Structure 1
Amino acid sequence: MNILGLNAYHGDASACLLRDGKLVAAAEEERFRRIKHWAGFPSQAIAWCLKDAGLSLSDIDHVAINQDSGANLWRKLAFTLKQRPDISLVLDRLKNKRKRTGVAEELSTSLGQPFKGEVHYVEHHHAHLGSAFLVSPFPEAVAVSVDGFGDFASAAWGIGRGDQVEVDDKVYFPHSLGIFYESITQFIGFPHYGDEYKVMGLAPYGEPKYLPEMRRIVRLQDDGRFELNLDYFRHHREKVEYEWDNGQPIVGSLFSDALIELLGSARGKDDPLEQRHKDIARSAQAMYEEAFFHLVTRLHEKYHVDALALAGGCAMNSVANGKVLRNSPYKKLYVQAAAGDAGGALGAALITHRQQAGGSSARSTMDHAFWGPHFSDEEIGALVTRRSTEIAGAGCTIEQLTDEQVLVDRAAACAARGDVLGWFQGRMEWGPRALGNRSIVCDPRRADMKDILNQKIKRRESFRPFAPSILREATAEWFETDDDVPFMMQVYQIRAEKRGQIPAVTHVDGSGRLQTVTRAANPRYYALIESFRALTGVPMVLNTSFNENEPVVCRPEEALDCFLRTRMDTLVMGTWVLTRS
């Protein structure tokens, strides 16, 4: 049974493919379109998944999409009758509903192939819960989804047991922690869809001086729920601009004038960042954590289960995630590689497989994220040969190192001497993080490496931190944890006595967004870090995404282009090594 899972007509559009319940391919549309968070119908991701599996659209038995316009229908009607929102808001949602009912037709039209299977609509948060629990290592867990909105809800929870996960309860529109955080992100002057991580990165530079004001915005309920003080928002009564049609997502201003009266003037995107903005960021992060832990702690009291599986856009808040085992009763945590909306494609496909297969189904743990496109050494070699004149003109030499140890030793030596190293290997990562196959790798010991990266490659805000990739067995020696963190979804404190040795990956508050690396999950990347340790005594490297203000590179052509237009020192693609002289 072949099942195609989709996140469509929304930001971070994506596709994945299950064969007999096993994930075989997954990718986000942005990697093919080269537009961050691309929203719309993921036709190119679908085409790639089919090609990778050697299938045509007619071989697909079921298509599962992570939205169901019929879900929570009575809640929608009750809200409309009670609140009487702007008619343009209602009409906009009806237009989106009509669009999503045409999936079968759009599949056939966009791929130029017949589709003979069935389309299944899986409620948004049910898909998130499935994506969290059904690939986790836990036989039983509390599953929680928290995001902006999907199918008229912003949060849901339930229990996952065996091969099933069910929704027990929800928080409904218009209340949303995701909308709260996105509103503050806009207020601080970060207007683009997905900019919330900038607030999270800015927060350690501030103090929670505005936490009393935040508690006026978000109200905690006795049963663990949260509510927004709607005076500070527009999304529930006016038509806020949302653009999801075949391009970069656009979200209009979500906050009302009342928020300006509460917090002072909003920052323009080009205005200087003041201490006040940093304090607001810290206060918003503190408020999010307060509400998040209020919810998950109450759920532990209710279910008495010690494992927690998280999904939804808010599950990308790696700072909060890193405090779960310290600040709540849970003893185990799992956050999959694509915890946000892209991952809903996987959850929808997994739930549909269980419904169609009948009886119990075997589960597979997602312990790596390498489900995307891959390219052979022959393909990379042909590209390098085809563009050899351009490469030579940029002052670069070309070598092929087919001996594995020689290859990783050369790359490790480059990083150890302070080079900026492009590292392009194997299958592209699923989810937003570069995890050692589409990465830029540097020396974490250099205090100036953050500035070097920002000047040479990234050209981004100076406050944003870079992450460490560490050999799994060395984790407890360097971090205040000994957990598996393969997807860079948790931030932990670096041990105080170690921070001075790795300043390039130590954030201002002593933390680092951790990625643990095992030989089994990524042999070549593990060998690179192992070789770096042999040279330096440090069992980790700085790892940041291979891109320059664009989606993470997907194809070797994009890696080469990024290398040539920036001041990267060395590029390793497969066994091919390009070095600037």
Structure 2
Amino acid sequence: MAFVLGINAYHGDAAACLIQDGKLIAAAEEERFRRIKHWAGFPSEAIRYCLDEAGIKLDQVDHVAINRDPKANIWKKLSFTLAKRPDFGLVRDRIKNAREWASIEEELGRAFPGERFRGQVHNIEHHMAHLASAFLVSPFEEAVAVSVDGFGDFASAAWGVGRGSEITVEDKVYFPHSLGIFYQALTQYLGFPHYGDEYKVMGLAPYGQPRYMDEMRRIVALQDDGSFRLNLDYFRHHKEKVEYEWENGIPAVGRLFTPALEELLGKARDKSDELTQKHKDIARSVQAMYEEAFFHLLNTLHRRHGLDAVTLAGGCAMNSVANGKVYRNTPFKKVYIQSAAGDAGGAIGAAFVVWHQVSQDPARFVMDHAYWGPQFSDDAVGELVAGKQQALADERCSVERVQDEAELCRRTAQAIAEGKVVGWFQGRMEWGPRALGNRSIVCDPRRADMKDILNLKIKRRESFRPFAPSILREAVPAWFETDDDVPFMMQVYQIREDKRPEIPAVTHVDGSGRLQTVYADTNPRYHRLIKSFEELTGVPIVLNTSFNENEPVVCRPMEALDCFLRTKMDVLVLGDTFISRREAAEGTEPAGSEANADAADGMADTGTYAGGRTRRVVP
């Protein structure tokens, strides 16, 4: 029996996974345990979870695989330093970072006192780890493999071909040119300064028009070989020290753009400034420029290799809008993107590279679901609820254990159909940033006001950001302009025009939706819930958003219950335990009604909630 521990560390989205004899058995991001978004540093708690899930100690791990190799691309690094002579602070930070990566054994010793790691540490080049994180767990025996991100090991992109259990890297884009840096810099320019805010620009883009493409093409230039180059006049990262910090585990990146960008596009937006139509048009132009470069690369690779399948990885592979246009804008017929396409996923890629190297086993593992995190028993839920009786009584909640799954799903579907906001906590936690039906908030997609209700009651996020539809796999072609498998919510497709009025809560302004296809064999309970909703309403879709309130997605039942109690969520389903806020007094408006929404928007909350049948109230 052989174990390989994969790690992404000292960077945003620190994570760990564990492979046993070539099969993934556990994977989780550190943020879920630390409760700090995008937590950066050493993922000790994620490692601890993986070992506990396998029932082993550190000394039973044979190999540790890390998704970075300080020795990779060394000649490119030296030639750049000698030719460009960047700020000393930039060089010093890179040396310091490399030293931190060299102390993995020491980190393991601190995290697991009294235990000893006896295995071997392997450094896997950053983009090889990305490429492997998609291709080596895909269903394809042969595919073009592409990785695009900010930077890792002095490169921002890599591509090649995967065959069997091997990947041949054909070429790369090296520092300082990067599509990820382009998107991140323009995200900062638009007034979204936090690490990981790029998805906000993607969500804002459909509200604008691509009126700034001439300016975008002055920033990014496409090359004949399929690659791209930045006009470095608009960027700081190649010549100055740009702060990258993770104090207390919170990653923060300094300003990436120069004053020249403001000369080109006008004054940068402050995060507190109003979003104008100009900002929306720039967002649309940024997205369009990214897509132009992305599809230029993919089309070049298809002409070169003539393969039907492509696997995508790297932080830029989180751009679900572009991913959903691959079939429309390239000749590729099959796409695979795993659920943690960004740096967290590099832990899995590194681990599988090492596994195939040391085992010489050509057999491939296929990741067809994302449920690799912690799970909790109904007994643990029962103990938690018993300890929270007073808090539940104060909130006028009823608590029932419903062990018949059909009845549990029917009752939950009924609550959704009544317009209630439901926390749905089941099984193993999802791997990656998306809630995929085990740590989800689910609502009725038919209600045009549901997006506003969610933002008022729980999410408290920008109004332009869409919510996603989870749909029964068998119903996809009737509702979307595709028949693709999208298990990880990584692609956006157009909703059929005649269906859009039926599901306004998950239909974006441009008629699209970032769908998740739900399968009976990989998540039977979530599939059954949606099927129950379809039987009640005729709609095989629920609105699905992450179970959190401006924090990482909940991991443990305690966090789910705390989120329920401090927000205006109506129902919480913890495994078999059904918790609901008691029905409103007769004559009051239900939760989410216009009257209550107005009250929540600017006046004292009424404290009333939509009712169902009378149930036992916690004493």
For normalisation by structure 1, the TM-score amounts to 0.99
* Counterparts of 1:115 and 1:245, CA distance in 2: 27
* Counterparts of 1:29 and 1:286, CA distance in 2: 33
Q: 1:246: how far off?
A: 4.5
Report whether the alignment pairs 1:145 with 2:168: no
* Counterparts of 2:35 and 2:246, CA distance in 1: 16
* Counterparts of 1:45 and 1:262, CA distance in 2: 44
2:589 is matched with which residue? none
Counterpart AA for 1:317: N
Q: Give the alignment partner of residue 183 of structure 2, picking from 156, 181, 184.
A: 181
Any idea what the Cα deviations from partners look like across 1:103-146, whole Å, max 9, x if unmatched?
Answer: 01111111212111110000000000000101101110000000
Counterpart AA for 2:296: H
2:367 is matched with which residue? 366
1:185-224 to 2 correspondences below 5 Å: 185-224=187-226
2:97 is matched with which residue? 96
Any idea what the Cα deviations from partners look like across 1:202-227, whole Å, max 9, x if unmatched?
Answer: 00000000111000000000111100
Any idea what the Cα deviations from partners look like across 1:80-124, whole Å, max 9, x if unmatched?
Answer: 011010011101100001110000111111121211111000000
Report whether the alignment pairs 1:390 with 2:382: no
Contact 1:41 1:246 in 2 (8 A): no
1:571 is matched with which residue? 572
2:300 is matched with which residue? 298
Report whether the alignment pairs 1:154 with 2:156: yes
Report whether the alignment pairs 1:376 with 2:377: yes
Q: 1:389: how far off?
A: 1.4
* Counterparts of 2:82 and 2:275, CA distance in 1: 43
* Counterparts of 1:142 and 1:361, CA distance in 2: 18
2:533 is matched with which residue? 532
Q: 1:361: how far off?
A: 2.5
* Counterparts of 1:565 and 1:273, CA distance in 2: 30
* Counterparts of 2:127 and 2:145, CA distance in 1: 10
Any idea what the Cα deviations from partners look like across 1:231-259, whole Å, max 9, x if unmatched?
Answer: 00000000000013551100000000000
* Counterparts of 1:85 and 1:119, CA distance in 2: 32
User: 3-state SS of the aligned residue for 1:473?
Assistant: helix
Q: 1:395: how far off?
A: 1.0
Moved over 2 A (4+): none
Q: Give the alignment partner of residue 285 of structure 1, picking from 284, 287, 298.
A: 287
Contact 1:40 1:247 in 2 (8 A): yes
2:591 is matched with which residue? none
Q: How many residues in Structure 1 have an aligned counterpart in Structure 2? A: 580
Q: 1:157: how far off?
A: 0.5
Counterpart AA for 2:500: R
User: 3-state SS of the aligned residue for 1:168?
Assistant: strand
Q: Give the alignment partner of residue 163 of structure 1, picking from 149, 162, 165.
A: 165
2:354 is matched with which residue? 352
Counterpart AA for 2:376: F
User: 3-state SS of the aligned residue for 1:166?
Assistant: strand
1:413 is matched with which residue? 414
**Larger Rg: 1 or 2?**
2
Q: 1:524: how far off?
A: 0.3
1:318 is matched with which residue? 320
Report whether the alignment pairs 1:518 with 2:519: yes
Counterpart AA for 1:163: S
User: 3-state SS of the aligned residue for 1:154?
Assistant: strand
Report whether the alignment pairs 1:468 with 2:460: no
Any idea what the Cα deviations from partners look like across 1:1-28, whole Å, max 9, x if unmatched?
Answer: 1000000010000000000110000000
2:17 is matched with which residue? 16
* Counterparts of 1:224 and 1:273, CA distance in 2: 34
Counterpart AA for 2:577: W
1:50-61 to 2 correspondences below 5 Å: 50-61=51-62
* Counterparts of 1:543 and 1:316, CA distance in 2: 18
User: 3-state SS of the aligned residue for 1:490?
Assistant: coil
Q: 1:166: how far off?
A: 2.5
User: 3-state SS of the aligned residue for 2:555?
Assistant: coil
2:261 is matched with which residue? 259
* Counterparts of 1:111 and 1:276, CA distance in 2: 53
User: 3-state SS of the aligned residue for 2:249?
Assistant: coil
1:327-338 to 2 correspondences below 5 Å: 327-338=329-340
* Counterparts of 2:46 and 2:368, CA distance in 1: 22
* Counterparts of 1:163 and 1:401, CA distance in 2: 45
1:407-486 to 2 correspondences below 5 Å: 407-486=408-487
* Counterparts of 2:507 and 2:235, CA distance in 1: 36
User: 3-state SS of the aligned residue for 1:355?
Assistant: helix
2:311 is matched with which residue? 309
* Counterparts of 1:109 and 1:88, CA distance in 2: 29
Report whether the alignment pairs 1:547 with 2:548: yes
User: 3-state SS of the aligned residue for 2:364?
Assistant: coil
Counterpart AA for 1:217: I
* Counterparts of 1:334 and 1:578, CA distance in 2: 38
Counterpart AA for 1:389: Q
Any idea what the Cα deviations from partners look like across 1:561-581, whole Å, max 9, x if unmatched?
Answer: 000000000000000011001
Q: Give the alignment partner of residue 136 of structure 1, picking from 115, 135, 138.
A: 138
Counterpart AA for 2:463: S
2:603 is matched with which residue? none
Report whether the alignment pairs 1:490 with 2:491: yes
* Counterparts of 1:487 and 1:524, CA distance in 2: 17
* Counterparts of 1:108 and 1:169, CA distance in 2: 37
Counterpart AA for 1:139: E
Q: Which runs of 5+ in 2 are unaligned?
A: 583-619
* Counterparts of 1:361 and 1:117, CA distance in 2: 23
User: 3-state SS of the aligned residue for 1:94?
Assistant: helix
* Counterparts of 1:287 and 1:207, CA distance in 2: 12
* Counterparts of 2:539 and 2:391, CA distance in 1: 36
1:228 is matched with which residue? 230
1:124 is matched with which residue? 126
* Counterparts of 1:271 and 1:4, CA distance in 2: 45
- Provide the aligned C-alpha RMSD in A: 0.6
Q: 1:392: how far off?
A: 1.1
Q: Give the alignment partner of residue 249 of structure 2, picking from 238, 242, 247.
A: 247
Contact 1:210 1:283 in 2 (8 A): yes
Contact 1:2 1:61 in 2 (8 A): yes
Contact 1:40 1:245 in 2 (8 A): no
Report whether the alignment pairs 1:73 with 2:70: no
1:26-37 to 2 correspondences below 5 Å: 26-37=27-38
Contact 1:126 1:166 in 2 (8 A): no
2:599 is matched with which residue? none
* Counterparts of 1:246 and 1:418, CA distance in 2: 39
Counterpart AA for 2:8: N
Q: Which runs of 5+ in 1 are unaligned?
A: none
User: 3-state SS of the aligned residue for 2:40?
Assistant: coil
Any idea what the Cα deviations from partners look like across 1:402-434, whole Å, max 9, x if unmatched?
Answer: 011110000000000000000000000000000
For normalisation by structure 2, the TM-score amounts to 0.93
